[in-house]
Structure 1
Amino acid sequence: MRTLFIGDVHGCSAELDALLKACDWKPGDRVVLVGDLVAKGPDSAGVVRRAREHGFQAVKGNHDAHVLRWHGGHASKGKKLKPEHRQVLDTLTAADWAWMERLPSYLRLPDLNALAVHAGLVPGVPLTEQKEEFLFNLRSIATDGTPSKRLEAGAPWGSLWKGPELVIFGHDAMRGLQRHPFAVGLDSGCVYGGKLTAYVLPEGKFYSVPAARAYMSL
């Protein structure tokens, strides 16, 4: 069975369709979306419905978690809802929300010795002790080992991940496609006018399609 890991879609449903075609996706293939299915792009509802209807698997990203908090009435006090998040709240159905709420923070795939997560894992920390804020937002590890959400704070976390599981993630559009010995980063900035990228196992091949246009500035 082929497994297609797909980077941050961010509501870019047309590009998702194009990427599935480029990968020669068939109904028997397993598809794993690495989070941030929604927000910023033009058709968040379309992305969620495609995932639901085709039985795709997915992990929750920081934007997915954000809109779920608003939908559930748990947004932080004083926070204003951005237009790109309002569009998600206005277009998803009850069935869409129910599907989103069931998304895990990470997904293990023992048959591939792989794990999907949106942003990353802190090296040296057991999986059960990983903090959700870093599962959703991690980018870098400082020289003293401190994890950070900031790009400039240190080395890409994936470069320090020693396995044994291969971790496939998204989130870091600024660094773009990342290939480390035990970690693969797939956010190639589709919603910002870049590309939507898939990594397919067991063949170990990357597929990308260009964005139709830039929907937001990076």
Structure 2
Amino acid sequence: MKFDIIGDIHGCFDEFIALIHKLGYSMETGIPVHSDGRHLAFVGDATDRGPDSLKILQLLFKMQDADALYYSPGNHCNKLYRYAKGSNVQLTHGLETTVAELDALSPNQRKQFLTRYRQFYESLPLYQTLDTDKLIIAHAGIPERLIGSPPIEKLRVFVLYGDITGEKLADGKPVRRDWAKHYQGQALIVYGHTPVKEARFLHHTVNIDTGCVFGGKLTAFRYPEMEIVSVPSLQPFLPEKFTVFD
């Protein structure tokens, strides 16, 4: 199978539509379909911060219903799930934008949407293993030692948040180790979570979160061609949001 793996969308629905059209997908059936039989896949974090989180979720729901969804949930997906269950979560780091969209619905529509989102999230694997284990899509990455392990808490935390140390930066963000520098596995790991200005290839891994919601680009990684396809963001450029690695 051939895949076009999409980086963190974060509610940037218009950029997503522009990207899939550039990749050759049609929306005539209501979901993206490629004439060459290619499949879309996602590194997660489709919502929060951007202007159209509910629109992208509605499309993902349709893809899931059509058994055409390959989606690896991220930390924002998990936080929205906890909110949808009624947990006490802080409306910060972008969740407030998605909740504002939900609050614009009628009470019945809001309840139905959150119920559907819970169903959506609960059916997702922690990460996707594709092409007979040659390709893995994990939101924040995955170390070789945890590939194929049971869904233990250490695995869940890593794929959602990355290799966090437990420490906090001055702005409140968690300190994360650069796990990709030490990856030596055979499977190709495609991930996002950490915004970079250009797709980052390192040790059989590729980070495709190019910060669309921060004014960068929305990026797709074409597999097995190993090609990058991007469209420019329509959002304001916030250079301080991008990570620069040593």
Task: Verify same fold: TM over 0.5.
Answer: yes
How much identity, in percent, do the aligned residues show?
27
Give the direction of change, closer, same or farther, for the CA distance of 1:134–1:152 in structure 2 (3 Å limit).
closer
Match of 2:74 in 1: 61
Match of 1:24 in 2: 24
Could you say which structure has the larger radius of gyration?
Answer: 2
Match of 1:37 in 2: 46
Give the direction of change, closer, same or farther, for the CA distance of 1:157–1:67 in structure 2 (3 Å limit).
same
Give the direction of change, closer, same or farther, for the CA distance of 1:152–1:136 in structure 2 (3 Å limit).
closer
Is 1:180–2:202 an aligned residue pair? Answer: yes
Contact 1:173 1:188 in 2 (8 A): yes
Give the direction of change, closer, same or farther, for the CA distance of 1:211–1:154 in structure 2 (3 Å limit).
closer
Contact 1:40 1:215 in 2 (8 A): no
Counterpart code for 1:181 = H
- Per the normalisation by structure 2, the TM-score is 0.75
Match of 2:130 in 1: 109
For 2:145, what is the secondary structure of its paired residue? coil
Match of 2:4 in 1: 4
Find the aligned partners of 1:42 and 1:183 in 2 and give their Cα distance: 30
Superposed structure 1 runs of 4+ greater than 4 Å apart: 146-155
Contact 1:139 1:172 in 2 (8 A): no
Counterpart code for 1:135 = V
Structure 1 gaps, min length 5: 141-145
- Following superposition, the deviation at residue 102 of structure 1 comes to 1.7
Contact 1:139 1:148 in 2 (8 A): no
- Following superposition, the deviation at residue 100 of structure 1 comes to 2.8
Is 1:122–2:146 an aligned residue pair? Answer: no
Contact 1:45 1:88 in 2 (8 A): yes
Match of 1:84 in 2: 97
Q: CA RMSD in A?
A: 2.9
Structure 2 gaps, min length 5: 26-33, 242-246
- Following superposition, the deviation at residue 86 of structure 1 comes to 1.7
Find the aligned partners of 2:72 and 2:229 in 1 and give their Cα distance: 20
Give the direction of change, closer, same or farther, for the CA distance of 1:95–1:215 in structure 2 (3 Å limit).
farther
Match of 2:232 in 1: 210
Is 1:194–2:216 an aligned residue pair? Answer: yes
Pairing 1:128-147 to 2, within 5 Å after superposition: 128=149, 130-138=154-162
Counterpart code for 2:121 = M
Find the aligned partners of 2:41 and 2:12 in 1 and give their Cα distance: 16
Match of 2:56 in 1: 47
